[in-house]
Structure 1
Amino acid sequence: MKLSIPPAALPALNRDHLGQAAHQAVQELLQEGESANTRRSYQGALRYWAAWYQLRYGDRPALPWPPAVVMQFIVDHAQRSTPQGLVHELPPSVDTALVAARFKAKPGPMSLNWLIHRVAVLSKSHQLAGVANPCEDPLVRHLLGHTRRAYAKRGELPVKKDALTKDPLSALLATCDDSLKGLRDRALLLFAWSSGGRRRAEVSGAEMRFLKRVSEDAYIYQLLHSKSNQAGQDRPENDKPIQGEAARALSAWLDASGIQDGPLFRRVLKGGHLGPPLSPAAVRDIVKARCQLAGLEGDFSAHSLRSGFVTEAGAQGIALAQTMAMTSHRSVATVMGYMRTQSAQVRAAATLMDGERPGLNRKVPD
């Protein structure tokens, strides 16, 4: 069946180029579908690229960038071994200017993860612009690959936060009193930890509409969108159980705060009034502040809740599949990266020849 529309009803579209309205709609969908953390991270990386380029080349950058510029960025920020020790090519004057303008926190070389992230962001910006991508140049890829190997040979591994397993987490909970802020922090810590080690953005973005009470001491939180499920696919592991002590702490916070809808965790203002929802940075600050109050020694942050849950699950012999259902990991390699060496699974694998184990010392039948 052939359909027809009066000629004056709609403007003709160009099949090779998007119109202004469609282009705007595309940009809005891309922005809405991207997490706030990712957007801030990309914006910060691109600002650094632009500042470094202006200081190094005395001009404003424009896409596409030549591969030689990316290679210069790599050697400026990656350390290499020489007879004089570890060196890099970023001039001290440029380094000082970047720190003074707050593009860097401190002078000196950056971590390998930082460098790889910056290159990935520049690559993505070229892909989205539809121009030649210098990060895909064979020489750039070859240099970056060997830079990774050089760091690995020196034993410079990514620094991981310490894990908040059951015992140190209990020390944090002991610092939470019965004030409104104490009730909130206790509920927040247990919600994040017991539901599988939620990321800080998932905690700050938690809303009452996704929380369902199933009994006096149990809730189900439906995590529809996360870093490991950015498309919002309907999966069985989206339902995160919150039970026992975690459920009781959450009930105490909700009863005291009177929250019935909207954000689950909010700022507590002077006079006990509720403010806007917590930001991801505020979740991190709460964890750090409670660690300091508890007198814990180590490098802890919000991600310590995630590694702590995975490590504790291993220590208690929880099957890896069950742990992954709680954390929402899709890759065994990724979830194992969160497991610290104190895990019972790791220790048991290192002592296979020691003592008897169920099923391993059975008598062979005649």
Structure 2
Amino acid sequence: MNVLNNTDINPQPSDAPLALNGLSESTRNAAEAFIAAGTAANTVRSYRSALAYWAAWLQLRYGRTLGDGALPAEVAVQFIVDHLARPGADGSWSQLLPAQLDAALVAAGVKGKRGVLAFNTVNHRLAVLAKWHRLNEWENPCAASAVKTLLREARKAQARQGVVLRKKTAVVLEPLQAMLATCTDGVRGVRDRALLLLAWSGGGRRRSEVIGLQIEDLRQLDADTWLYALGATKTDTGGVRREKPLQGPAAQALNAWLDAAPAFSGPLFRRLYKGGKVGTTGLCADQVARIVKRRAALAGLAGDWAAHSLRSGFVTEAGRQGVPLGEVMAMTEHRSVSTVMGYFQAGSLLGSRASSLLTATSPLGPAPGHSTETPTQGNPEKPDS
């Protein structure tokens, strides 16, 4: 039986055959919607911010609208020299971007303040421009050898002049204990203690992963052991749920939080209101960073603290304690060995004999007037905010 001959096919205009060499507007919009839905909210915001800056800078610098077509490599080169500080003959540092354009970018609200940008910021905006070109199926100007060479040499020049890439301070065991010691302020302290210990002991979780956890993601094995399930993350976008353990003090802190704020569904970590009332709305990513900074301040800890301090601190401490790299990466879900090794090596070298040749056990002994005891961290009383 020939089905085609017995089927009345009367295609409507909207059902007309598609062109083989291009995408319809509806298909392109659907593809872009998939990409947006599969991208973390923080990443989407950073992309939008970077593209807004590119649009403003292009309009001011070239009188051109972003999206008119592919940009040549020369534009990427100009962007680098406009925004990165470069050393002059007299030892001063400057940028090529004219002062009036710099002021206009600030006035437009796409730039926080006048002056040069950090290397990481320039690098990120070039990466966003590259992705913009790939999505539009245009030739990528950032892939040109001239751009890559300039960026590499600019980084080296800054490094030689003492301009280093700053990293957030890692929360290793001692500062973590100091932060936890401040968690005595009622329900807020119970919540913050559970959050800090889950994010740290649970594998150095990213802030997006912490705020994404739901009550339904938890499974208790016994009084001192919980399992929590991760879905799609920055490095594992497949959505397959992977369970991670939470044991000992971290499990006990979670028990205390669930007792203080019982719930059967919804966000695990929720906002608090006046009088210690627990709301139903989950924390946002910025609030995780504020909790880390607040607890560090209450503990009197000096450093540049952020939510990422918990992740880098977990890896660094694992290196200090000699945990095999494979076990660490199984918990953190890092996919790049080079990324995790920077923190892991720093931690492991702290316990290396090669880094402690001049110790109290060395024939040379400590330097005159130098104590080998580690000073304890203070915990001054500071007002709650």
Letter aligned with residue 328 of structure 2: T
Distance 1:350 1:100, change over 3 A: farther
Distance 1:259 1:233, change over 3 A: closer
Q: Matches of 2:238 and 2:353 in 1, distance apart?
A: 36
Alignment of 1:90 with 2:100, yes or no, is no
The answer as to whether partners of 2:226 and 2:245 remain within 8 angstroms in 1 is yes
- What whole-Å deviation, never above 9, does each CA across 1:111-165 have from its counterpart, x for those lacking one? 1111111111111101111123222233323322332333344343311111111
Task: Pick one of 244, 247, 252 that aligns with 1:243.
Answer: 247
Mapping of 1:1-366 within 5 angstroms?
4=4, 6-8=8-10, 11-14=15-18, 15-61=20-66, 62-85=68-91, 86-177=93-184, 179-232=186-239, 238-271=242-275, 272-339=277-344, 341=346, 343-348=347-352, 350-351=354-355
Shift of 1:12: 3.0
Q: Matches of 1:3 and 1:142 in 2, distance apart?
A: 62
The answer as to whether partners of 1:254 and 1:260 remain within 8 angstroms in 2 is no
Distance 1:114 1:2, change over 3 A: farther
Structure 1, unaligned stretches of length 5 or more? 356-366
Distance 1:122 1:331, change over 3 A: closer
Q: Matches of 2:235 and 2:61 in 1, distance apart?
A: 38
Q: Larger relative contact order (C-alpha < 8 A, sep ≥ 6)?
A: 1
The answer as to whether partners of 1:163 and 1:340 remain within 8 angstroms in 2 is no
Distance 1:9 1:54, change over 3 A: closer
TM-score w.r.t. the length of structure 2 is 0.84
- Select between 170-179 and 57-66 the one with higher mean Cα deviation: 57-66
Structure 2, unaligned stretches of length 5 or more? 360-385
Q: Matches of 2:269 and 2:217 in 1, distance apart?
A: 13
Distance 1:305 1:12, change over 3 A: same
Distance 1:346 1:63, change over 3 A: farther
Letter aligned with residue 48 of structure 1: Y
Q: Matches of 1:340 and 1:103 in 2, distance apart?
A: 38
Distance 1:331 1:133, change over 3 A: closer
- Select between 91-100 and 294-303 the one with higher mean Cα deviation: 91-100
- Select between 181-190 and 77-86 the one with higher mean Cα deviation: 77-86
